[in-house]
Amino acid sequence: MPYNEPNPAEVRVLSKRFGIPNSQSIDVYLANEGYQAYERAAKMTPDEIVNVVKASGLRGRGGAGFPTGMKWSFLARNSPKPKYIIVNADESEPGTCKDRLLVEFDPHQLIEGIMIAGLAATSNQGYIYIRGEYRYLIDIMNKAIAEAYDRGYLGDNVRGTGWKFHLATHTGAGAYECGEESALLESFEGKRGIPRIRPPFPAVAGAYQSPTILNNVETYAAVPSIFRMGGEEWAKLGSPKNGGTRMFCLSGHVNRPGVYELPMGFPLMRMIEEVGGGIRGGKKLKAVIPGGSSCPVLKAEECNINMDFDSLAAAKSMLGSGGVVVMDETTDIVAVALRIMRFYAHESCGWCIPCREGTTWLRKILLRIYEGHGVASDVDLVGELSKNMLGRTFCPLGDAAAMPTIAFVEKFRHEFEAYIQKQVPAAQPDPLLQLASV
Amino acid sequence: MTFSPELEAKIERMFSQYPPDRRRSAVIPMLMYAQDEIGSVTRELVEEVARRTGITPLAVDEVVTYYSMLHRMPLGKSHVQICTNISCMLNGGTELWEQATRRLGIGHKEVSADGKISLEEVECMGACSWAPAIQVNYDFYHQVTPQKLDEMLTQLGAAR
Amino acid sequence: MPDPVKLTIDGRQIEAAPGTLLINAAKAAGIEIPAFCYYDGYSLQAACRMCLVEVEKTPKMPTACTTPVAEGMIVRTDTEQVRRARKMTLEFLLTNHPLDCPVCDKGGECELQDMVFRYGAGGSRFIENKWHVDEKQWSPVVFYDGPRCILCFRCVRVCNEGMGVGALGIVNRGSVSEIAPNEGDHLNCDECGMCIDICPVGALTSGTYRYQSRPWEMDHVGTICTHCSNGCKTTLGVRNGEILRGNNRDRSGINGEFLCIKGRYGFDFYNHPERLQSPLMRVNGTLQPVAWSTALEAVARKFTETKNAGGKFGVIGSTRTTNEENFYLQKFAREGLGTNNIDHHRSGDVVTLLDALSGRANASLATTADLYTSKAVLIIGADLSLEQPFLAFQVRANFRHHAAKVYVVTPEPVREDKYAARSMRAAGDPIWGALDQMRDALANEAELVILFDDSIKGEGVRRLLEFGTALGKPVKYVALVDYANSRGAVDMGLTPDLLPGYHASPQRGLSLDEMINAPDLDVLWVIGANPLSRADLSASSPFLVVQDMFLTETAERADVVLPAASAYEKSGSFTNVCGEVQRLKKGLDVMGTKPDLEIIGLIAKEMGLAATVGPWIADRVFDQIRRTVRGYDVSLPVIATGGAAQTAPVNGRISSTGRPEMIRSVHNDLFASGTLGRYSKILNSVLEKTEGEVEPIEAVHR
Ligand SMILES: Cc1cc2nc3c(=O)[nH]c(=O)nc-3n(C[C@H](O)[C@H](O)[C@H](O)COP(=O)(O)O)c2cc1C
Ligand code: SF4
Ligand code: SF4
Ligand code: SF4
Ligand code: FES
Ligand code: FES
């Protein structure tokens, strides 16, 4: 059983089968519209498939929200090299825990989505890169893959159509950066998770330098319902240019945290109050991180907003990976900013100077402020160093560390200053040392 | 170096999943599964993985030292991983971490004297909506309370 | 040539070939874009972010080191935004840098210092603790200081891509990332030191140069390596008559950034405690130090006596003395002593190659540059990476940059196998079978360079050229030889039957082996060679005169030993394996020694033959060589400015068998260099270094 009760406000399309006993099995899947979308797509040309995805308005669920149909259309289909489908199940953005459920409770939906991508790409091989911590999901996925082979949905001759399509899982080993698509590909090839220089993009040179479609788990999982409903119908589930539903991961200080499937554009305050049951202990809302740790924080008064890519971009934040972290009035923003920076410093791959040194420096300053040894100039310095990282790093991890930090100091400057004012006196200097330095 | 027949079979399958000239793709999966069996990434294992995938031991070292889940030093029988990232932190994850270090008398990536338990403060493990979360080896524990943690540690053999 | 792309950089109209990287297009226009990780010729990293520039219509500043030029592109490298980005990147970099410049070897020639000076901020806002780990010694020559490392990954690339060794890697993650050696705590590699020279900062330092000097205290003397036949340029750092280091950081000369361990560190034989610094004479059976005048007088007296009595001379020349010395020596022997008994240790069949080439269409000698540009290369016999390090480097670079097809026929596995289009194992006669199997593939190449060692000589060489000609494509050849001037020694006529420039000698003299075995030799004069390490003199005991740096097996037997200067202590010229002439530049004097040219000149003078043999001034002798030796009329400005000019000493048949059966290569590997190698502390310490226990590298993730 899923880990939280469903909510009446949900529009359950991707999570439709969650909660059905034995929802992982292919029989349950087949009994519940399973693999019908594949049958439909199998009759289409790759271009037609891409057009359906385009019409659905589906945008990548991994964080950046890039239109999926457009991404698929970039694939160098004419290349003589093999084409690969890669699934990003590295889910590591703090605040995000939705891909886990999509794999755990409906692995066949994911397989079907991957197959349709495979048809669109004229590919014969897919891989699912699953973060190492999700070992039990690898077992679930492997079992589902074995079932799909058994029933002829995978193999050398898929459902007798002559199309060859193989699928396998691949484990990560603990590295947030390996969720970044090009670092993921390096990791997949057995190397350190260091991003690649782009261009070329994966659509031209991805896995094994071959044309590759790479998407998030939720993105692929959305594809079967798109083909069952039709692109236009599916698009209408959401708001304009933000098709469909989205798995929101509600966490933090709410009464009913959980993963909920809601239409794109669902109002944030309704999500907190109606779906999440309001702030725990009757406290007041202070702020919300709307899409995982890398998204700039929204103050309470900014939370009257619709949860879609464009509305959040207009508010200078991001929908990101769907991790909605709700913070009540007791929340220590300095502690949150420090914890987030500790994360990015720990996860920086170390390739480029601004991110490697910037996150570490910022972590040290924030820790010093937190421990009561901050100085007045530190607040500006934190903001400025973050801006010095922004846009200058090799991959977006540097931005992901900078953006929330800039927002924290801009929107909650007084909290940082308060820490600095109630300074803990520095330890008494050693008199001998003092003498020596005269 | 030989592994258990099950692991050998698994490795065999792994290699069959990648193109024949891409054996290197199996490096990380092989290290992960072999570590589970051996207890840590030993020098011998590094050399074995290098041999089987056709790369240098140095190239394997580069990989091993990059990934948080690959460990050169043996962990405890139960590796207790406590998330203190934001969602967990907002729900008492940091306190759980402190509680565990106090009770066990060990810190980050340290192993109890009897080798039963090791501790690690970890980053977000994908359980944010059911925070605070703990993983023991590969098993998830959700909405862990201080009492629950205490019981868990006792069950894993921690001294009182 | 495709049409050039037009773009604008800092308001200037610039043209560049399509595909040119912005950083290079700017450089060609005289606009400097700072870079740490970019290094011409190696893979792109985009890691340091120093080269960010503004490109119109591009929202984020792209890296100039990875962005190719595009038609109509408008680039700005000197805006407030760009300047600020550089300054801030440097500020970030310095947070983890120890700033111990006053005691750092790189101080004064450090790229980080230069960058901070030019683009950095006056102060730092960093007041936190710095990360520290102790410095590590990885080998006798390589030390690594983690905190100084700016993680530009140049060392990793030069070792992997340039050398084909791959002994360096990156371990850990984030700000505690470090460079690590292949054996856990030490290196097992070529010990070439390329990583040290290419390191922009003082993170990698050299075991021999550490804490020795500041760069500005030294004279930087660009000369030619005295070890193998490849002829690399090396720049000696000389202070107060001491060589402190060798390197080629300015990438000048034929070898660019390349030097092997011998060129970079192997100069250290020059101050070995056993270096001879006084003439020695046999008195009552033992060698005693004597004055130069005494020794020279004794030699001249014996030479004159022998000559007057119609006695028999034997002269054995060197493969490490200069062209001038060799030319002068043979002239002295032939015209002064009246003997053709002159030879040297021959290691490759240059003579037959030159003869077989004459008059042949589509066939010529290859230059070292050809190895980098030719579409295909065939290596026969030699373990090129170990025996001919720079030639191997060229072939590797050719593969990397131009996807050259490399073919290998060797007795044992070699490093080239890794990227060769075809590798076969064969020695002796089966080589021809292997070549036959490769024939079709080779005939499909547009052009070819063939390198062959001493397994192909005499008739074999002619057969090889027939093979090459039958391919129907332009083929160039290199006859591999052992030492710094092995090739020059043949060109200069240090042979019993050929005069300088391969003119037939009217009378044939004794070859090296014949001299050693002659029962009736009266005088044996050995210059910079050690023939008695391999063979014993026959029953006769001639008067033995030896010019050398050390008391070799041959010198120990001598009646008079004259202490000679090394190649680093004199001027003159060397001709490398490809026939390229380059100039030596004198770096220092070693007390008590004299260059061989001077020693020979003084003997001539003492014998009253000065007028016959001519002045012993290197430039004057080279003048003579240019005038009399075929193919040596090279452009003086080229070689005077440190360039290499290829000689073409052949244009007609050579009437000599060249005695190919005498040809024997010693196949020195990377850490051997004949006598010089035996007296090099560094080469020996690398060889002695025992395999240590491998310490595991523990991951540091804070
Ligand atoms: C530092 C970093 C971490 C990322 N982590 C993830 C991740 O864990 N899962 C994911 O799907 N995408 C992640 N992404 C986004 C991917 O790079 C990529 O855009 C995405 O997988 C593409 O799929 P989509 O178009 O379906 O969103 C990350 C990006 C960055 C820069
Ligand atoms: S921004 Fe740079 S250091 Fe940070 S993760 Fe990306 S490439 Fe690595
Ligand atoms: S050791 Fe030197 S060359 Fe190597 S990465 Fe560090 S700074 Fe760059
Ligand atoms: S390759 Fe030969 S010439 Fe070049 S540095 Fe080495 S020994 Fe000297
Ligand atoms: S923050 Fe702890 S599991 Fe996500
Ligand atoms: S030189 Fe361009 S990023 Fe380093």
Beta strands at C280-283 and C286-289: parallel, antiparallel or unpaired: antiparallel
In degrees and rounded to multiples of 5, residue C649 shows phi and psi of: -75, 15
Burial class for A129, CB neighbours closer than 10 Å (0-12, 13-18, 19+): buried
Contact (CB, 8 A) for C491 and C499: no
pLDDT range class, residue C696, cuts 50, 70, 90: very low
C253-287 pLDDT tens trace? 999 999 999 999 999 999 999 999 999 999 999 99
In this prediction, residues A123-141 reach a mean pLDDT of 98
pLDDT at A309 over 70: yes
**pLDDT grade for A434, boundaries at 50, 70 and 90:** very low
Question: Any idea what the Cα angle at residue A419 is, between residues A417 and A423, rounded to 5°?
Answer: 115
Query: Which alpha helices (H) appear in A320-425, and where do they start and end?
Result: 333-347, 353-370, 378-389, 397-411, 413-421
Q: Is A276 on the interface with B (CB under 8 A)?
A: no
CATH number for the segment(s) B78-155: 3.40.30.10
Residue pair A182/A176 in contact by the 8 Å Cβ criterion: no
Q: How far is the CA of B152 from the centre of ligand 2 (A)?
A: 38
Q: Quick check: C345 and C529 in contact, CB under 8 A?
A: yes
Q: Tell me which residue in C180, C700, C701 faces B61 most closely, judged by beta carbons.
A: C180
CA of C192 from ligand 4 middle (Å) equals 10
β-pairing, C280-283 with C242-247? unpaired
Give the side-chain half-sphere CA count within 13 A for C315.
24
User: Chain B 141-160, CB below 8 Å of chain A: which residues?
Assistant: 142
Half-sphere exposure of C689 (CA within 13 A, CB side): 21
Three-class DSSP labels, C73-100: CEEECCCHHHHHHHHHHHHHHHHCCCCC
Which CATH code fits A333-437? 1.20.1440.230
Q: Quick one: which H or E segment has residue C451?
A: strand C448-452
The predicted-structure confidence for B133-148, as pLDDT tens digits, reads as follows: 999 999 999 999 999 9
Residues B28, A136: C-beta atoms closer than 8 Å = no
Q: Which CATH number fits domain A26-235: 2.70.70.10, 1.10.1740.10, 2.30.130.10, 3.40.50.11540?
A: 3.40.50.11540
Cα(A224)–Cα(A226) distance, integer angstroms: 5
CATH code of the domain made up of B5-66: 1.10.10.1590
Task: Tell me how far apart the alpha carbons of residues B95 and B105 are, in angstroms, rounded to a whole number.
Answer: 15
How many pairs of residues across A and C have Cβ atoms under 8 Å apart? 94
More confident position, C536 or C134: C134
A205-221 average pLDDT score:
98
Indicate the pLDDT class of residue C534, thresholds 50, 70 and 90. Answer: confident
CA of A256 to the centre of ligand 2 (A): 36
- Tokens read off for B18: 């990648």
pLDDT of residue C686: 86
| CA triple C185-C190-C192, angle to 5 deg | 100
Contacts of B56 in chain C (CB under 8 A): 166, 182
Tokens of C651: 């244009």
pLDDT at A436 over 50: no
Parts of chain B belonging to CATH 3.40.30.10: 78-155
Contacts of C701 in chain B (CB under 8 A): 68
Radius of gyration of chain B from its Cα atoms, rounded to whole angstroms: 18
Average pLDDT for C150-175: 97
Taking every pair of Cα atoms in chain A, the longest distance, rounded to a whole number of angstroms, is 87
SS3 at position A361: helix
Pocket test for ligand 4, best of C232, C394, C566, C568 (most atoms within 8 A of CB): C232
Determine the average pLDDT of the residues in C151-168: 97
Q: Of chain C residues 524-563, which have a CB less than 8 A from chain B?
A: none
Q: pLDDT higher for A422 or A54? A: A54
Distance separating alpha carbons of residues C385 and C228, to the nearest angstrom: 12
Residues B66-83, buried b or exposed e (16+ Cβ, 10 A)? Answer: bbbbbbbeebbbbbbbbb
Query: Residue A202: enclosing H or E segment and its boundaries?
Result: helix A202-205
* Cis bond upstream, residue B132 (ω within 30): yes
What domains can you pick out in chain C, each with its CATH number? 5-93 (3.10.20.740), 111-271 (3.30.70.20), 280-347+485-690 (3.40.50.740), 350-480 (3.40.228.10)
Query: What global pTM score does this model have?
Result: 0.94
Report the SS3 class of residue C198: helix
Q: Is A348 in contact with C175 (Cβ distance < 8 A)?
A: yes
- With helix as H, strand as E and coil as C, how does C134-181 read? CCEECCCCEEECHHHCCCCCHHHHHHHHHCCCCCEEEECCHHHCEEEE
- DSSP letters spanning C36-73: SS--TTS-----S-TTB-EETT-SSPPBTTTPBP-TT-
Q: Torsion angle, CA of B89/B92/B98/B99, rounded to 10 degrees? A: -160
> pLDDT at position A281, please?
96
Query: Taking CB atoms and an 8 Å limit, are C697 and B72 in contact across chains?
Result: yes
Contacts of A348 (CB under 8 A, 6+ apart): A177, A355, A356, A359, A360, A397, A398, A401, C173, C174, C175
Closest to A97 measured CA to CA, from B149, B87, B115? B87
Q: Average pLDDT of chain C?
A: 93
Which residue of chain A has the CA closest to B92? A252
Q: What confidence score (pLDDT) does residue A435 get?
A: 41
Backbone angles phi, psi at C631, to 5 degrees: 90, -10
Q: Residue-wise over A261-300: b if at least 16 C-beta within 10 A, else e?
A: bbbbbbbbeebbeebbebbbeeeebbbbbbbbbbbbbbeb
Q: Is the pLDDT of residue C697 over 90?
A: no
Protein residue closest via CA to atom 20 of ligand 1: A62
Confidence of residue C122 (pLDDT cuts 50, 70, 90): confident
Contact between C517 and C538 (Cβ < 8 Å) = yes
Question: Could you tell me where the DSSP H helices lie in C276-410?
Answer: 292-308, 323-331, 350-357, 368-373, 384-387, 389-402
Q: Which ligand is nearest to the CA of C39?
A: 6
Alpha-carbon Rg for chain C, nearest whole angstrom, is 28
User: What is the phi/psi pair of residue C31, to 5°?
Assistant: -105, 120
Closest CA to B81 of B103, B109, B57: B109
Q: How far is the CA of A208 from the centre of ligand 2 (A)?
A: 22
- Reduce the DSSP state of residue A435 to 3 states and report it: helix
Does B144 sit in the ligand 5 pocket, CB within 6 Å? no
pLDDT(C433) > 80: yes
Average pLDDT value for residue range C498-509: 92
pLDDT for residue A264 is more than 60: yes
Q: Tell me the average pLDDT across A345-374.
A: 97
Percent of chain C past pLDDT 90, that is, above it, reads 86
Minimal C-alpha gap between C400 and chain B (Å): 19
pLDDT for C343 beyond 80:
yes
Q: Which of A169-173, C536-540, C629-633 has the lowest mean pLDDT?
A: C536-540
Q: How far is A280 from chain C (nearest CA, A)?
A: 34
**Under 8 Å between Cβ of C567 and C221:** no
Measured between CA atoms, how close is B63 to chain C, in angstroms?
8
**Chain C neighbors (3+ CB pairs < 8 Å):** A, B
- pLDDT at residue C691 is higher than 60: no
Q: Which amino acid is at C458?
A: G
CB C558 within 8 A of CB C282: yes
Read off the pLDDT of each residue in B13-27 and give the average, rounded to a whole number.
97
A197·C701 Cβ contact <8 A: no
pLDDT of residue C658: 65
Shortest CA distance to C387 belongs to which of C363, C412, C418, C407?
A: C412
Percent of chain C with pLDDT over 70: 97
Considering every ligand atom, which ligand is closest to the CA of C179? 3
Strands B134-136 and B78-83: antiparallel
- Domain chopping of chain A, boundaries: 26-235, 245-328, 333-437
What distance lies between CA A413 and its chain's CA centroid? Answer: 28
- Torsion B135-B140-B145-B151 (CA) sign: negative
Residue nearest atom 1 in ligand 6 by C-alpha distance: C35
Mutate to test the pocket of ligand 2, among A184, A346, A352 (most ligand atoms within 8 A of CB): A352
Residue to mutate (ligand 3; options C38, C106, C153; most atoms within 8 A of CB): C153
For chain A, the chains sharing at least 3 beta-carbon pairs closer than 8 angstroms are: B, C
Would the pLDDT of C698 be above 60?
Answer: no
pLDDT > 60? residue A425: no
Using CB atoms, pick whichever of C167, C182, C701 lies closest to residue B68: C701
Looking at residue A181, its amino acid is E
Question: If you measure CA to CA, which chain B residue comes closest to C701?
Answer: B68
Interface subset of A 88-107, CB within 8 angstroms of B: 91-97, 99-100
C170 touching B, CB under 8 A?
A: yes
**Amino acid C688: pLDDT:** 74
Residues with CB under 6 Å of ligand 2 are: A 177, 195, 348-352, 355-356, 393-395, 397-398
Each residue's pLDDT tens digit, A5-16:
999 999 999 999
Beta strands across the sheet bearing C376-380: C363-365, C475-479, C448-452, C376-380, C405-410, C422-425
Domain with CATH 1.10.10.1590 in chain B: 5-66
Give the CA angle between residues C192, C194, C196 to the nearest 5°. Answer: 110
Describe the strand order of the beta sheet including A125-130 as a list of residue ranges: A166-171, A125-130, A84-89, A212-216
| Rounded distance between C-alpha atoms, residue C377 and residue C398, angstroms | 9
Beta-strand relationship, C405-410 and C422-425: parallel
Residue written as tokens 């044992």? Answer: C412
Closest of C212, C47, C93 to residue C143, by C-alpha: C212
Mention every residue, 6+ apart, whose C-beta is less than 8 A from residue C117: none
Which residues surround ligand 6 with Cβ inside 6 Å? Answer: C 35-38, 46-51, 63, 65
Whole-number Å distance between alpha carbons of C683 and C73: 52
Which CATH code, of 3.10.20.600, 3.40.190.10, 1.10.3720.10, 3.80.10.10, is assigned to A245-328?
3.10.20.600
Any B CB within 8 A of C172 CB? yes
Smallest CA–CA distance, residue B35 to chain A, in Å, is 11
pLDDT digits (tens, 9 = 90+) for C544-593: 999 999 999 999 999 999 999 999 999 999 999 999 999 999 999 999 99
pLDDT 10s digits, A56-82 = 999 999 999 999 999 999 999 999 999
A269 band by pLDDT with thresholds 50, 70 and 90: very high
